[in-house]
Amino acid sequence: MNGVAAGLPARSETWPMYRSMVGIGLLCGLLLVGAFQITKPIIERNQAEALARAIFQVLPEAASSKTFALGDDGRFTILEGQPVGQTIVYGGYDATGRLVGVAVEAAGMGYQDTIRLLYGYSAENDAIAGIQVLDSKETPGLGDKIQFDPEFLANFARLDVTLAEDGSRLAHDIVSVRHGQKTEAWQIDAITGATVSSNAIANILNKSATRFVPAIRAHLDDFRETE
């Protein structure tokens, strides 16, 4: 092997490279498709279960749930099959089939990354009945307390979202206040050391509730008719 062969590899030298790369690539591809096919139904089931758990968490009285899509006309219709780009909310019903509340997903910027959460709206109480953080990357030990700190989560057991008289917006914006200074039912008592994350939760809830609470309130029958 010298001279010409070194500068311009002969076919016999490149062939093993192609052969091994393509061969390994194909085999790996097959393995990946196999792994994907096996785990896909399990992963989907896990995600559905996690969502169902979250719905029952934010609507403690609910025993079953139905998925609704928000149409262009502002009305909610039961969604069959997989959602494709529609806005989705979940109706929660107790054992007798009575509507106990509507669970809505909301998202917004936190301290480090987007926080996604689910909250339950109870029309009977004009209040948020619970929240569950679905996805967040808040600082461990500080901001991540928004997910499990019992004192903080107690804020959302009955967070007032009464509508203004014309029914188009909230009577009071949801705001977070410094720890220990909560005086009104629409205020959130922030976590010490996690002010930004607490504010983020308040902003996410306020923005989403301003949009959804009037919409849900105006068409409560959409959820009841399906009983």
Partner 1 sequence: MADQPETPPIDELLKGLWRENPVFIHVLGCCPTLAVSNTARNALAMGLATLFVLVGSNAVISSIRKFVPQQVRMASYILVIATFVTIVDYAIQAISLDLYRALGAFIALIVVNCIILGRAEAFASKNTVARSALDGVGMGLGFCLALLCLGVVREVLGYGTLFGVSLFGERYQGWVVMILPSGGFLTFAAWILFANWLRKRGASS
CA–CA dist 4, 89 (Å, integer): 70
For residue 202, CA distances in Å to 9, 151, 154 come to: 66, 15, 14
Pick from 39, 77, 114, 181 the residue near partner 1 by CB under 8 A: 39
| Per-residue interface string for the shown chain with partner 1, residues 67-106, x marking contact by CB under 8 A | ----------------------------------------
The yes or no reply on residue 48 touching partner 1 (CB under 8 A) is no
**CB of 138 within 8 A of CB of 146?**
yes
Closest contact distance (angstroms) between CB of 179 and partner 1 is 16
* Other Cβ atoms closer than 10 A to 37: 9
- Asked if 36 interacts with partner 1 (CB under 8 A), we say yes
Alpha-helical runs (H) found in the chain = 4-7, 11-58, 145-148, 150-153, 195-218, 220-224
Q: Burial-class residue 218 by CB neighbours within 10 Å (0-12, 13-18, 19+).
A: middle
Q: Among residues 36 and 97, whose Cβ is nearest to partner 1?
A: 36
If you search the block for the tokens 């914006």, which residue do you land on? 173
- Grouping H, G, I as helix, E, B as strand and the rest as coil, residue 39 is helix
The nearest distance, CB 140 to partner 1, in angstroms, is: 5
- Asked if 32 interacts with partner 1 (CB under 8 A), we say yes
| Span 121-180, contacts to partner 1 by CB under 8 A | 135, 137, 139-142
Residue (16 or 85) nearer to partner 1, CB: 16
Scanning 40-48, 85-93, 167-175, 202-210 for contacts with partner 1 by CB under 8 A, the matching segment is 40-48
**CB of 65 within 8 A of CB of 55?**
yes
**Residue type at 119?**
Y
Count of positions on this chain that bind partner 1 (CB under 8 A): 26
Residue 108 CB, nearest distance to partner 1 (Å)? 18
What are 69's strand-pairing partners? 77, 88
Contact set with partner 1 (CB under 8 A): 16-17, 20-21, 23-25, 28, 31-32, 35-36, 38-39, 42-43, 46-47, 50, 135, 137, 139-142, 193
